[in-house]
């Protein structure tokens, strides 16, 4: 179990496409656990491997604690997630990203999705997600495809947010934050 350093935008690894894994072995499980530790420590509801500098198609989520910090943990891990169906109906959520600190914007996405993936035991599963879970899954799968939530908003807003992110990244690197 370990908290890994978070990659902050702009960074090339956030624009790269992650690669499918062959099997979920102990090394993959250990990495999934580290990703969960990292996500909980950063108080996020999701995390994709790119965000810790790794290009395997792995994401972790826990949307249970969004409303209530004392709610029991409900960790979800997915390897090789694939959206097999998206609803026509769209939904707008104010999104944020651990790799673009302190910036938020409304993003419109399909309200519901069906996803297949390999779970922590390497067993194929499928889920039909709605609400914040549907949004989060799409946000994380975007990361695995090298896409950030800022790619869904206007260029003006995007450039502003990435500039601010770079400022924060520099400040953190200089240990000022």
Q: Does 18 bind Ni ion (CB under 5 A)?
A: no
Residue 140 a catalytic site member: yes
- Compare residues 79 and 136 and give the one whose CB is closer to ligand GNR: 136
Asked if residue 113 lies in contact with residue 136, where contact means CB atoms within 8 angstroms, the answer is: no
Q: Does 8 bind ligand GNR (CB under 6 A)?
A: no
One DSSP character per residue, 64-106 reads: TTTT-TTSPP--EEEEEEEEEEE-SSEEEEEEEETTEEEEEEE
Give the residue carrying structure tokens 């062959």: 22
- Compare residues 16 and 122 and give the one whose CB is closer to Ni ion: 16
- Alpha-carbon distance of 11 to 70, in angstroms, equals 34
- Compare residues 65 and 122 and give the one whose CB is closer to Ni ion: 65
Asked if residue 90 lies in contact with residue 110, where contact means CB atoms within 8 angstroms, the answer is: yes
Q: Does 97 bind Ni ion (CB under 5 A)?
A: yes
Torsion over CA: 47, 51, 53, 55 (sign): positive
Please name the residues in contact with 86: beta carbons below 8 A apart, sequence gap of 6 or more: 110, 112, 113
- The length of the chain in residues reads 177
Among 32, 35, 98, 133, the residue binding ligand GNR under the rule CB under 6 A is 98
Q: Does 96 bind ligand GNR (CB under 6 A)?
A: yes
Among 9, 47, 113, 141, the residue binding ligand GNR under the rule CB under 6 A is 47
- Compare residues 21 and 136 and give the one whose CB is closer to ligand GNR: 136
Peptide bond into 10 cis (omega under 30): yes
Among 45, 113, 118, 141, the residue binding ligand GNR under the rule CB under 6 A is 45
Which residues in the 136-165 window bind Ni ion by CB under 5 A?
Answer: none
Name the residues that contact Ni ion, by CB under 5 A: 97
Residues of this chain that interact with ligand GNR (CB under 6 A) are: 44-48, 51, 93, 95-99, 135-136, 139-140, 143
Active site (catalytic) residues: 140
């Amino acid at each position: 179990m370990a908290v890994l350093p978070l990659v902050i935008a702009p960074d090339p690894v956030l624009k790269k496409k992650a690669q499918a894994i062959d099997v979920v072995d102990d090394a993959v499980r250990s990495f999934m656990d580290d990703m969960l530790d990292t996500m909980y420590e950063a108080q996020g509801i999701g995390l994709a491997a790119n965000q810790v500098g790794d290009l395997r198609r792995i994401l972790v989520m826990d949307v249970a604690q969004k409303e209530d910090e004392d709610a029991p943990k409900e960790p979800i891990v997915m390897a090789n997630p694939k959206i097999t169906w998206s609803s026509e109906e769209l939904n707008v959520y104010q999104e944020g990203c651990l790799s673009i600190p302190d910036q938020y914007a409304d993003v419109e996405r399909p309200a519901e999705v069906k996803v297949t993936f390999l779970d922590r035991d390497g067993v194929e599963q499928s889920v039909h997600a709605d609400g914040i879970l549907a949004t989060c899954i799409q946000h994380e799968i975007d990361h695995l495809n090298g896409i950030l939530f800022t790619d869904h908003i206007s260029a003006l807003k995007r450039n502003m947010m990435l500039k601010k992110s770079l400022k924060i990244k520099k400040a953190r690197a200089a240990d000022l934050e």
